[in-house]
Amino acid sequence: MNSACRIDDELTQHDRDYLAARGTSVETVKHQLAIFQHGIPFTALSKPCTVHDGIEQITDTDLSKLERTFSHAMAAGRITKFVPASGAASRMFKALLACCADESTASSDNASLQSFLDRLSDFAFFEDLSTTLTQQGHQLEDLRASGQYQPILEALLHPTGLNYAKRPKGLLKFHRYRDHIRTPIEEHLMEAAVYTKDASNQAHVHFTISPEHQEAVQEHLESARQRFKHDGLDWIVTCSLQKASSDTIAVDMENQPFRDREGNLLFRPAGHGALLSNVNELQGDIVFIKNIDNVVPDHLKEETYMYKRAMGGYLITIQETLFGYLRQLEAETITATQLDAIAQWAQSTLYWTSPPQWKNWDPTQRATYLRQFCNRPIRVCGMVKNTGDPGGGPFWVTHEDGSTSLQIVESSQVDPQSSEQQHIFASSTHFNPVDMVCGVRDYQGTPFDLSQFVDPEAGFISQKSYEGRELKALELPGLWNGAMAKWHTIFVEVPRPTFNPVKTVLDLLLPAHQPQ
Closest CA to 163 of 241, 93, 99, 242: 93
Give the model's pLDDT for residue 462.
Answer: 83
What's the rounded Cα separation, in Å, for the pair 7 and 366? Answer: 43
Same domain, 78 and 134: no
| Domain match, 210 and 223 both | yes
Is 388 found in the same domain as 350? Answer: yes
DSSP percent split of the chain into helix, strand, coil, nearest 5: 45, 20, 35
CATH classification at residue 389: 3.90.550.10
Number of domain units in the chain: 3
368-371 long-range Cβ contacts below 8 angstroms, 24+ apart? 370/325, 370/329, 370/339, 370/342, 370/343, 370/346, 371/326, 371/329, 371/330
**Residues 192 and 287 grouped into a single domain:** yes
Cα–Cα distance for residue pair 409/430, rounded to 1 Å: 12
pLDDT at 2: 45
What is the sign of the dihedral through the CA atoms of 250, 252, 257 and 260?
Answer: negative
Is 168 a domain residue? no
DSSP states along 104-140: GG-STT-HHHHHHHHTGGGSTTHHHHHHHHHHTT--H
Are 195 and 247 within one domain? yes
Q: State residue 4's pLDDT score.
A: 43
pLDDT of residue 125: 98
Range(s) of the domain holding residue 498: 44-89+177-508
Residue 166 is assigned to a structural domain of this protein: no
The reply to whether 148 and 208 lie within a common domain is no
Please indicate, yes or no, if residue 169 is contained in any of the structural domains.
no
pLDDT for the residue numbered 107: 55
- If asked whether residues 134 and 186 sit together in one domain, one would say no
Pair (181, 241) in one structural domain? yes
What span, in angstroms and rounded, lies between the C-alpha atoms of 51 and 428?
A: 11
Q: Does residue 514 fall inside a structural domain? A: no
**Which residue in 258, 329, 257 sits closest to 3, CA to CA?**
257
Are 404 and 446 in a shared domain? yes
- Long-range Cβ contacts of 324-327 (<8 Å, 24+ apart): 325/370, 325/374, 326/371, 326/374, 326/375, 326/442, 326/443, 327/443
**Domain-located, residue 164:** no
Helices and strands per DSSP (H, E), number in the chain: 16, 19
Q: Could you tell me if 294 and 195 lie in one domain?
A: yes
C-alpha to C-alpha distance for 452 and 483, rounded to whole angstroms: 9
pTM > 0.85: yes or no: yes
Same-domain pairing of 97 and 80: no
The Cα-based distances of 476 to 137, 301, 458 in angstroms read 47, 33, 8
- Could you write out the three-class secondary structure of 162-213? CCCCCCEHHHCCCEECCCCEECHHHHHHHHHHHHCCCCCCEEEEEEEECHHH
Closest by CA position to 202, among listed 229, 221, 179: 229
pLDDT at 6: 54
Longest dimension (CA), the chain: 85
Show the low-confidence residues of the chain (pLDDT under 50).
1-5
Confidence (pLDDT) at 38: 87
Asked if residue 162 belongs to a domain, the reply is no
3-state class (DSSP) for residue 84: strand
516 domain residue, yes or no: no
Sign of the dihedral defined by the CA atoms of residues 255, 259, 261, 267, in that order: positive
Same domain, 67 and 141: no
Please report whether residue 172 resides in a domain.
Answer: no
